[in-house]
């Protein structure tokens, strides 16, 4: 397993070792002890979530606030997404910056997103199954987000706007400027 810190401090890309043969493959997709050792802190995941989406579905950019903030470990079981992580920690040197990573069922890459970040993804293939662990329980009153196409974030979502499928809620999220207030 290769664990690499991204340009966003405390955010990591995890590439598991795949053992392949004529039967298929085997991989250890998560090991709590190794995970905590490599990222340098103890994270206790308490909830697993999974979604299935069609090509063009964009979910995000979401985050939980205050005591309900969540760290996430995300991956794609089947299909492919463009995964986006935005640093919202105002004291961070990379505040307002983002990374994008292609996650798919073949490369098995995962992204660890610490608390204090917004997260979203664009589905690039039909029938994509996206799975993630959270270190805190979901709390509806603490959910928040930033508009996916905010000018200040300048995220390249790869697909034109007319091919994107968003929830009504995600179409009306706050701007990055509103977040700063």
Sequence length of the chain is 181
Peptide bond into 61 cis (omega under 30): yes
β strands within the chain, DSSP E: 2-5, 12-15, 19-21, 24-26, 47-53, 58-64, 72-78, 80-87, 98-104, 110-113, 117-123, 128-134, 143-145
- List, by residue number, the catalytic residues: 62, 132
* Three-state helix/strand/coil letters over 70-96: CCEEEEEEECEEEEEEEECCCCCCCCC
Q: Which two tokens stand for residue 53?
A: 């989406």
Q: Quote the distance between the C-alpha of residue 98 and its chain's center.
A: 11
């Amino acid at each position: 397993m290769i664990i690499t810190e991204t340009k966003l401090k405390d955010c990591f890309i995890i590439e598991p070792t795949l053992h392949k043969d004529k039967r298929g493959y085997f991989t250890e997709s998560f090991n709590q002890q190794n995970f905590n050792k490599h990222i340098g802190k103890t994270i206790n995941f308490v909830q697993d979530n999974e979604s299935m989406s069609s090509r063009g579905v964009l979910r995000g950019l979401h985050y939980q606030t205050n005591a309900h903030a969540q760290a996430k470990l995300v991956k794609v079981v089947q299909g492919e997404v463009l995964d986006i992580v935005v640093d919202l920690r105002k004291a961070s040197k990379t505040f307002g910056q983002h990374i994008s990573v292609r996650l798919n069922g073949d490369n098995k890459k995962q992204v660890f997103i610490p608390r204090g970040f917004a997260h979203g993804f664009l589905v690039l293939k039909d029938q994509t199954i996206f799975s993630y662990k959270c270190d805190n329980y979901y709390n509806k009153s603490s959910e928040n987000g930033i508009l996916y196409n905010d000018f200040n974030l300048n995220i390249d979502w790869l697909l034109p706007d007319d091919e994107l499928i968003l929830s009504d809620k995600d179409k009306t999220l706050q701007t990055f400027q509103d977040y700063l207030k």
